[in-house]
């Protein structure tokens, strides 16, 4: 393989070299061209790099697809994303990726452009030119990285430039939780309120919002004091749908506290009375445990709004509904439960995920237990 460098301007050079593909009729290698700005030495270095890429078999055919065209095409054709995730990816693509990188040719995208894009988003990437958080920029970066990874597998690009630039560092923040006293106060304050049963089950099991909204009576065994998590309700702009857990760990059986069992028994009785008044009959195995007054599904986003309203109206601790899950985990850790048990109850894919979220709650107990264990071991050695 050969190539040459020709001056085009004061600081511009044309590279001519042989590509990897051959003409099917003549058998000759295709001729490729590239333009480089800089010194002649830099142009020669780039030519050497391109020839090495061709020699290694990792060269890709020239393509004029832009970042915007590729990302939109990928999102339109992908089948391995849930509707909710796809909706979020489209939002990030249209609001954070395409306005800044969309016109760049996919094969011309360079690490420095990704680096500068991060800085722009952090400074003024939000609505009205407001700054974006490092977490949001990280989400946008992951969408771009995933799109480029697919393009690399399809040999549209030779490398994933987003891999060369780390996403902005997110400062770890302790999750907001309810204390044990606050948990009891919240339940006492909500007694008789429509949200009382679902809040009690959230605090008693650590179930996710979508899992609670998707729960059917057939998955609830009040006599056996267990609930089976078999599905979740997902809400997108196209409506509501039931979906199975993401992983096998999400499909789980959770033991119920006795007070939660009693609250749910009372809830079932009142729901049955209401359904009979409406002519629906008693709730069956497929009917939802938590539904709107007309029996229709309870949208997860509406649950969050209703929780926010009751927090304000009854002056409850100002935490999001998801904090009830965190409060459940916190209570288990405070009671001395090990990380594996907590992880299984929460439906995490791995205890490492649980530690990543709640490590600060384990620290004191774990360190104290470690000191006691080594003290016992050292005294045993001394005695011997």
In whole angstroms, how far apart are CA 145 and each of 79, 137, 167, 169, 265? 17, 12, 10, 16, 49
Reported as a pLDDT band with limits 50, 70 and 90, residue 173 is: low
Looking at the structure, do residues 47 and 78 belong to the same domain, yes or no? no
pLDDT of residue 49: 83
pLDDT of residue 384: 44
Positive or negative, the Cα torsion across 303, 304, 305, 306? positive
Do 225 and 320 contact (CB within 8 A), yes or no? Answer: no
Do 287 and 274 contact (CB within 8 A), yes or no? Answer: no
Q: What phi and psi, each to the nearest 5 degrees, are found at residue 130? A: -75, 155
pLDDT of residue 223: 96
Examine residue 284 and state whether it is found in any structural domain, yes or no: yes
DSSP letter at 336? Answer: T
Examine residue 172 and state whether it is found in any structural domain, yes or no: no
What distance in Å separates the CA atoms of residue 142 and residue 145, rounded to the nearest whole number? 5
Looking at the structure, do residues 209 and 329 belong to the same domain, yes or no? yes
Reported as a pLDDT band with limits 50, 70 and 90, residue 228 is: very high
Whole-structure pTM value: 0.73
Angle between helices 83-92 and 134-153 (to 10 degrees): 100
Give the residue from 56, 75, 93 where a domain finishes.
56
Looking at the structure, do residues 108 and 48 belong to the same domain, yes or no? no
Looking at the structure, do residues 52 and 96 belong to the same domain, yes or no? no
Looking at the structure, do residues 158 and 247 belong to the same domain, yes or no? no
Q: Which of 152-161, 285-294, 360-369 has the lowest mean pLDDT?
A: 360-369
SS3 350: coil
Examine residue 380 and state whether it is found in any structural domain, yes or no: no
Looking at the structure, do residues 194 and 339 belong to the same domain, yes or no? yes
Examine residue 375 and state whether it is found in any structural domain, yes or no: no
Residues present in the chain in total: 384
Tokens of 152: 């690399």
Q: Which of 19-23, 91-95, 134-138 has the lowest mean pLDDT?
A: 19-23
* 212: CB partners within 8 A, 6+ apart: 198, 201, 202, 289, 290, 303
What distance in Å separates the CA atoms of residue 118 and residue 96, rounded to the nearest whole number? 10
pLDDT of residue 363: 59
Looking at the structure, do residues 227 and 316 belong to the same domain, yes or no? yes
Strand 12-22 relative to strand 29-37: parallel, antiparallel, unpaired?
Answer: antiparallel
Examine residue 291 and state whether it is found in any structural domain, yes or no: yes
Mean pLDDT, rounded, for 181-193:
94
Looking at the structure, do residues 91 and 223 belong to the same domain, yes or no? no
> pLDDT: is 236 or 23 the higher one?
236
Residue 134: is its pLDDT beyond 80? Answer: yes
Reported as a pLDDT band with limits 50, 70 and 90, residue 351 is: confident
Looking at the structure, do residues 190 and 335 belong to the same domain, yes or no? yes
CATH number for 294: 1.10.443.10
Count structural domains, the chain. 3
Examine residue 92 and state whether it is found in any structural domain, yes or no: yes
CATH number for 81: 1.10.150.130
Examine residue 378 and state whether it is found in any structural domain, yes or no: no
Domain holding 353, by residue range, is 180-361
Looking at the structure, do residues 298 and 346 belong to the same domain, yes or no? yes
Reported as a pLDDT band with limits 50, 70 and 90, residue 382 is: very low
Do 60 and 110 contact (CB within 8 A), yes or no? Answer: no
- Helix ranges, 125-257 (H): 134-153, 180-190, 196-205, 209-213
Examine residue 381 and state whether it is found in any structural domain, yes or no: no
pLDDT of residue 51: 84
DSSP letter at 158? Answer: S
% of the chain exceeding 90 in pLDDT: 58
């Amino acid at each position: 393989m050969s190539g040459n460098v020709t001056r085009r301007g004061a600081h511009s050079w044309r590279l001519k070299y042989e590509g990897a593909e051959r003409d099917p009729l003549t058998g000759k290698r295709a001729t490729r061209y590239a333009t480089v700005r800089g010194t002649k030495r830099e142009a020669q270095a780039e030519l050497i790099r391109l020839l090495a890429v061709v020699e290694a078999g990792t060269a890709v055919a020239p393509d004029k697809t832009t970042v915007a065209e590729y990302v939109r095409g990928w999102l339109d054709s992908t089948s391995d994303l849930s509707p909710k995730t796809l909706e979020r990816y489209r939002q990030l693509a249209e609001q954070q990726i395409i306005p800044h990188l969309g016109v760049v040719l996919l094969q011309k995208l360079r690490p420095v452009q990704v680096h500068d894009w991060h800085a722009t988003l952090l400074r003024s990437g939000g609505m009205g030119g407001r700054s974006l958080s490092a977490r949001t920029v990280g989400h946008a970066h992951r969408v771009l990285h995933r799109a480029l990874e697919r393009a690399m597998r399809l040999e549209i690009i030779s490398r994933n430039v987003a891999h060369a630039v780390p996403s902005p560092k997110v400062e770890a923040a302790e999750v907001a939780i309810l204390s044990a006293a606050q948990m009891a106060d919240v339940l006492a304050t909500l007694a008789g309120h429509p949200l009382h049963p679902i809040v009690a089950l959230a605090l008693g099991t650590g179930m996710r919002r979508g899992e609670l909204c998707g729960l059917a009576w057939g998955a609830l065994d009040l006599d056996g004091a267990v609930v089976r998590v078999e599905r979740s309700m997902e809400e997108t702009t196209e409506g509501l749908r039931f979906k199975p857990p993401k992983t096998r760990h999400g499909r789980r059986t959770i033991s119920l506290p006795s007070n939660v069992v009693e609250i749910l028994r009372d809830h079932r009785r009142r729901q049955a009375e209401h359904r009979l008044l409406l002519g629906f009959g008693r709730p069956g195995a497929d009917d939802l445990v938590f539904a709107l007054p007309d029996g229709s599904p309870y949208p997860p986003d509406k649950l969050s709004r209703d929780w926010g309203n009751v927090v304000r109206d009854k002056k409850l601790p100002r935490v999001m509904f998801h904090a009830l899950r965190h409060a459940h985990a916190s209570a288990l850790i405070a009671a001395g439960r090990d990380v594996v048990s907590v992880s299984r109850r929460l439906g995490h894919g791995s205890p490492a995920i649980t530690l990543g979220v709640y490590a600060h709650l384990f620290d004191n107990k774990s360190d104290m237990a470690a000191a006691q264990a080594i003290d016992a071991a050292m005294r045993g050695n001394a005695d011997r």
